[in-house]
Structure 1
Amino acid sequence: MLQINQIHHAAIICSDYEVSKKFYTEILGLRIILETYRAERRSYKLDLQVGGAQIELFSFPDAPKRLSYPEARGLRHLAFEVDDIDQAVGELTRHGVEVEPVRVDETTGKRFTFFADPDGLPLELYEK
C-alpha cells in the first residue's frame, strides 16, 4: 500500500500577484520560504510556509478564470487550523476581509468559518 506521510503543498494560481502576495503574507501572516521569478513563463512562484506544509502561489499571464462553487467538483476549500477563531476572525475583519458567521462542526464540535482570498478561493479557519 502507498505510504503518504502528510500534505506537502497546495498550489494556487492568482490573478494579481502583488495583491495575493500581500494577502497571504501580511494578512494571513504566512512566512515566505522562497520567491522566484521565472522569466521564460513571465511567472512568479512564491513558496509560503503553513506549519509543516506549504502553499505555492503562482502568477501566470492570462490565466483563465475557474468557476468556484462550494459544492462543485474539485478542491472545495483550503482550511487553516487556528488556536483562537475569534482572534483570527477579528484580525481578518480588521483588514477588511469578509468572514462568514462562525459555525460548529456537528461531528467534531469544533468551531469553523469561511472567507475568501482575493480571487474568491474559499478558505476556512478551523479551531484547534
Structure 2
Amino acid sequence: MRTKGFHHVAIICSNYDRSKQFYTEILGFPIIQETYRAARNSYKLDLKVGEGDAIELFSFPDPPDRPGRPEACGLRHLSFAVEDLDQAVAELQSKGVEVEPIRVDELTGKRFTFFQDPDQLPLEIYEA
C-alpha cells in the first residue's frame, strides 16, 4: 500500500461546545463543515489544520473515558508543526492554555512542547 499522507485525525470529545471553542478559537483551526447527526445525537466538526490535513471532532453521548496512563496502548499524542515555537507558546499562554516547558528532541535537535485539549488529550507543537 502506498499512501499520500494523513487524510484526517478523529477526536471524540466530552463537551462539544467547549472543544469546538478550543480548536477553533484557541488553536485557530478554520471550520470546513459542521454537521449534526440526529440519529446519533452527535455533532461532527471538520477542521482544517494544514494544507491537506483535517481533524474530525465528534461528540457522542456518554463516551468512555480515555485511559489515564500516558503509556497506555493506542494513540499517544497529536503533533502540530509550527515555524516559531516561542511565538506559538506565547499565544497559547495568552489564551489561558498551560504549556509544559520546552524540550529538545535528542534525535533531531528540534524544540517541542506539550499542552492538553479540554479532555486532556495530549497535543504537541514541534518547531519545524
TM norm. shorter chain > 0.5: yes
Q: Which residue of 2 aligns with 1:95?
A: 95
In 2, distance between residues paired with 1:90 and 1:74? 30
Contact 1:98 1:115 in 2 (8 A): yes
The C-alpha deviation readout for 1:41-77, integer Å capped at 9, x for no partner, is 0100000011111000000011111114332210000
Task: Write out the 4+ residue segments of structure 1 that deviate beyond 2 Å after TM superposition.
Answer: none
Q: Is the 8 A contact 1:83 1:127 kept in 2?
A: yes
Determine if contact 1:49/1:55 at 8 Å carries over to the other structure. yes
Q: Which runs of 5+ in 2 are unaligned?
A: none
Unaligned stretches of 5+ residues in structure 1: none
Question: What is the aligned-residue identity percentage?
Answer: 69
- 1: CA distance between counterparts of 2:117 and 2:69? 14
Per-residue deviation, 1:37:
0.3
1:78-127, Cα deviation, whole Å (9 max, x unpaired): 00000101111011111111100001101001000000000000000000
2:125 corresponds to which residue?
Answer: 125
Q: How many residues align?
A: 127
Aligned residue number for residue 38 of structure 1: 37
